[in-house]
Amino acid sequence: MTSVSVGWGEYVRLMLVLCGILALAVVAIRVWLPKISMWNKSAAGPIEICARLPLEPRRTLYIVKAANSYMLLASSEAGVQHLAALSADEWSGLRAKGDTATPAKL
């Protein structure tokens, strides 16, 4: 064998090993990570985020459903503040007017 053919053989073997490592990483991210991640688990509880509107990087408005009532909450560096209580009719009207974020369970 010449040194050129040995070099190509090592190169091909290296590429196969790298492809195998990449395939293993993809499998780990797609299969195992969602199973062990707490972020993807939806909690079965009485609190649901119905809409989210980011105003600035650290300031956001939320419409939250807790039990059977809706609340408008503001989140900022200072904390979370209750702005207003909304009836189910007001929330239905707001939802019909504009696009809202997809609901997410807390």
Which tokens belong to 55?
């105003």
- Rounded distance between C-alpha atoms, residue 71 and residue 87, angstroms: 8
| Cβ atoms of 73 and 85 closer than 8 Å | no
Q: Report the pLDDT value the prediction gives residue 97, as an integer from 0 to 100.
A: 73
- Rounded distance between C-alpha atoms, residue 69 and residue 10, angstroms: 66
Tens digit of pLDDT at every position of the chain (106 positions)? 555 566 888 999 999 999 999 999 998 888 877 677 655 556 667 888 888 999 999 999 999 998 888 999 999 999 999 999 988 888 877 777 765 444 444 3
Q: Does the global pTM surpass 0.85?
A: no
